[in-house]
């Protein structure tokens, strides 16, 4: 399902005013795949983008396609939703393209560089002997063949597991049976051969040794397959114990999630596919035939130390304000608001350093923080919060247990913090707490003073190295009072209030943004918005009205965009850009107006109904002229990028920019380094 150009000069039909959300997401993943195709991208980074494409597609099916299929089940509709048919066509096209990129472009380039993914049948005797030993000692002991016959029901196929469908024949009776062998996820996906950079996929090694699993039987055939299941969590608003409720749902999700996709190798016979479809309750449109390796997310497991095939190393800088020790950090924030820009500015040297300084400063009496995705290790922020509680400080952590795919990790971190004496709040049943806020209360000479941080990204050191995000540090009294009041609302009982510098969802964010957009709906009006997704129909309608009234609108949207730009009489003054490259663009920046009346906001919310209506989100105003100029700098660099940039056309397709100039990530790296070596009161680098 592709969009056709609209007639010039004619109004846009109502059913074409919004681009399809799911197809727009698939177009975003197509832009990720384009990075894997790009010969100017370092070779091992192209491999990484192939893996990211697969990871993204897995999540899309687990969440979005699962939701559409659930909608179909709950309706009186027969057959398949038109949207599901369009998704299938586009997905099949992209998966075929991905297989071709690996087989025809990336694979041969790797081989030319001496890095080979070798098929087991093509190995020499010495290499086979090595893998025979590996199989016998490391793989065979953990394999469990599961037969399917009247005495053995069809086994449960776990979500995203890689499996072999095996057909065996009894040489005595000549009867054929089906069996399933799961590739244990704890084993490495690729087995390295000694002496060089050659790798064999583990499923091929298992397939070559199936006779050891089915002794006395004849192996007729084996075929790789993979199942994707619905992972969405549905919680009752009446749950009395949120932690217990989520643990129960996680168990049920692992065990009972409905299958939504079946991936099979091209050589899989139709009778095996039919058996899998029947047992998994899937239709023909749910089956995707893969010509090549299943689950290319496993490419991330290639253990190759070839830095020359990666992006050039970048040493994240520590802004001068944070290079003066723990006491210096508080002095600097007390003096003026500070904006940090990750990953160009070090997360460890700024956010983690701030929390560590608060944890060990005897003058700090309280720390409060939201944690949405906490990261995988015990170091850094989680450890500092625990240290602060053990030191007798009042420490509150609001851990969002419903953060999708991180629920179990967040439960573990919450328990660790509770054991250290941290007051842990599990969020709200009806709303996800997605805002990124941090509050430190410290004794100063004039009494207690609040220091706070409001960010666009998670307090997660791992993602902070690859996600582009912003954070604002401030000791401003109004903002400190806002953040303190928001924490009180989240942890206690209070009615939402009016805030001085925050726009908070679900109560004030939508009307506040609508008012800001409407104020620019005039000749000379100016709106620039940078976000991950633009889906909300009311926000889009206001942007259309602003454009029609004469405002110029520039949108930087990394992923889904349902707004159709460039349509006469509706959106001719709206431009939509997307930047994809080394770092994942993740910050949200909203700019309204120009000159002395300009308003800048940063924060956690995208323009989606879930962010505006079903989450606790926070956007903070940035009135400081030096910092607002920094935000303009980021927006301008993104809008000028003709290297990593894409532009959305009025017919709903994306066009790769083909100009010259400097890529956003390279440019902002250089500016961060230059800024770190300038006096702290200098103007932004231009």
Which residue numbers are catalytic?
Answer: 434
H or E segment and range at residue 339: strand 338-342
State how far the alpha carbon of 120 is from the alpha carbons of 131, 199, 215, 478, in Å. Answer: 9, 9, 21, 66
Beta strand pairing call for 176-182 and 145-148:
antiparallel
**In sequence order, which residues have a C-beta less than 8 Å from that of residue 120 and are 6 or more positions away?**
128, 131, 200, 204, 205, 207, 208
Q: Half-sphere exposure of residue 236, counting CA atoms within 13 Å on the CB side? A: 7
Yes or no: say if 200 and 150 are a contact pair by the CB < 8 Å rule.
no
The beta strands (E) that lie in 359-431 are given as 364-371, 394-399, 423-425
User: What would the two tokens of residue 138 be?
Assistant: 């490391």
Q: 191 near 131, Cβ under 8 Å?
A: yes
Work out whether the CA dihedral 350, 354, 356, 361 comes out positive or negative.
positive
CA-nearest of 564, 551, 470, 481 to 516 is 551
Residues 6+ apart with CB under 8 A from 472: 337, 338, 339, 453, 454, 455, 602, 620, 622, 627
Among the listed residues 101, 196, 201, 184, the one whose alpha carbon sits nearest the alpha carbon of residue 144: 184
Coil, helix or strand for 246? Answer: helix
Instruction: Please tell me the distance from the alpha carbon of residue 430 to that of residue 421, in angstroms, as a whole number.
Output: 27
CA 398, 374, 187 angle in degrees (round to 5)? 145
CB distance 294 to 321 below 8 Å? no
Residue 246 φ then ψ, to 5° = -70, -40
Is the CB of residue 398 less than 8 Å from the CB of residue 490? yes
CB 205 within 8 A of CB 191: yes
Give the CB-side neighbour count of residue 572, counting CA atoms within 13 A. 12
């Amino acid at each position: 399902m592709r969009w056709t150009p609209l007639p010039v000069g004619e109004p846009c039909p109502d059913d074409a005013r919004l681009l399809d959300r799911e197809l727009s997401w698939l177009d975003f993943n197509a832009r990720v795949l384009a990075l894997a195709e790009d010969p100017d991208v370092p070779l091992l980074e192209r491999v990484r983008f192939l893996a990211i494409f697969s990871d993204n597609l897995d999540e899309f099916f687990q969440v979005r396609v699962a939701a559409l299929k659930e909608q179909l089940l709950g309706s009186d509709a027969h057959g398949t939703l038109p949207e599901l048919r369009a998704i299938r066509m586009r997905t099949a096209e992209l998966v075929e393209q991905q297989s071709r990129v690996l087989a025809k472009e990336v694979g041969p380039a790797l081989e030319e560089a001496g890095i080979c993914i070798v098929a087991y049948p093509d190995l020499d005797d010495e290499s086979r002997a090595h893998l025979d030993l590996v199989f016998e000692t490391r793989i065979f002991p953990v394999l469990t063949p599961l037969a399917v016959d009247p005495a053995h029901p069809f086994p449960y196929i776990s979500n995203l597991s890689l499996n072999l469908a095996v057909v065996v024949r009894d040489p005595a009776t000549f009867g054929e049976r089906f069996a399933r062998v799961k590739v244990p996820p704890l084993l490495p996906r690729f087995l390295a051969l000694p002496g060089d950079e050659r790798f064999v996929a583990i499923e091929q090694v298992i397939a070559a040794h199936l006779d050891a699993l089915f002794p006395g039987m004849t192996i007729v055939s084996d075929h790789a397959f993979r199942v994707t299941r619905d992972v969405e969590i549905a919680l009752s608003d009446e749950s009395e114990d949120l932690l217990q409720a989520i643990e129960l749902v996680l168990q049920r999700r692992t065990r009972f999630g409905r299958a939504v996709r079946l991936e099979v190798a091209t050589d899989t016979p139709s009778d095996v596919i039919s058996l899998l479809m029947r047992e998994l309750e899937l239709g023909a449109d749910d089956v995707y035939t893969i010509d090549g390796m299943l689950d290319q997310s496993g490419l991330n497991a290639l253990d190759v130390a070839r830095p020359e095939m990666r992006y050039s190393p970048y040493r994240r800088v520590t802004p001068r304000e944070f290079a003066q020790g723990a006491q210096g950090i508080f002095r600097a924030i007390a003096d003026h608001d500070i904006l940090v820009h990750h990953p160009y500015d070090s997360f460890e040297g700024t956010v983690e350093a701030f929390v560590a300084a608060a944890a060990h400063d005897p003058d700090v009496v309280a720390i409060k923080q939201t944690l949405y995705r906490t990261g995988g290790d015990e170091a850094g922020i989680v450890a500092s919060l625990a240290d602060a509680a053990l030191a007798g400080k009042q420490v509150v952590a609001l851990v969002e247990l419903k953060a999708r795919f991180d629920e179990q990790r967040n439960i573990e971190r919450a328990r660790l913090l509770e054991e250290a004496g941290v007051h842990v709040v599990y969020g709200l049943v009806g709303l996800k707490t997605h805002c990124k806020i941090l509050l430190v209360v410290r004794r100063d000479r004039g009494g207690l003073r609040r220091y706070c941080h409001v960010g666009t990204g998670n307090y997660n050191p791992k993602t902070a190295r690859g996600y582009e995000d912003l954070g604002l540090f401030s000791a401003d009294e109004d903002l400190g009072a806002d953040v303190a009041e928001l924490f009180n609302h989240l942890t206690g009982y209070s009615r939402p209030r009016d805030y001085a510098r925050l726009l908070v969802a679900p109560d004030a964010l939508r009307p506040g943004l609508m008012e800001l957009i409407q104020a620019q709906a005039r000749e000379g009006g100016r709106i620039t918005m940078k976000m991950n997704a633009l889906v909300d129909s009311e926000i889009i309608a206001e942007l259309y009205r602003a454009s029609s009234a004469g405002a110029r609108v520039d949108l930087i949207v990394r992923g889904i965009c349902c707004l159709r730009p460039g349509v006469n009489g509706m959106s001719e003054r709206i431009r939509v850009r997307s930047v994809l490259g080394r770092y994942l663009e993740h910050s949200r920046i909203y700019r309204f107006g120009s000159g002395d009346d300009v308003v800048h906001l940063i924060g956690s919310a995208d323009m989606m109904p879930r962010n505006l209506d079903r989450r606790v989100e926070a956007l903070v105003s940035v009135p400081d002229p030096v910092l607002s100029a920094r935000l303009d700098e980021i927006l301008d660099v993104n809008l000028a990028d003709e290297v990593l940039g894409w532009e959305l056309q009025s017919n709903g397709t994306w066009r790769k920019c083909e100009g010259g100039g400097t890529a956003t990530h390279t440019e902002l790296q250089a500016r961060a380094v230059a800024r770190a070596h300038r006096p702290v009161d200098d103007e932004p680098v231009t």
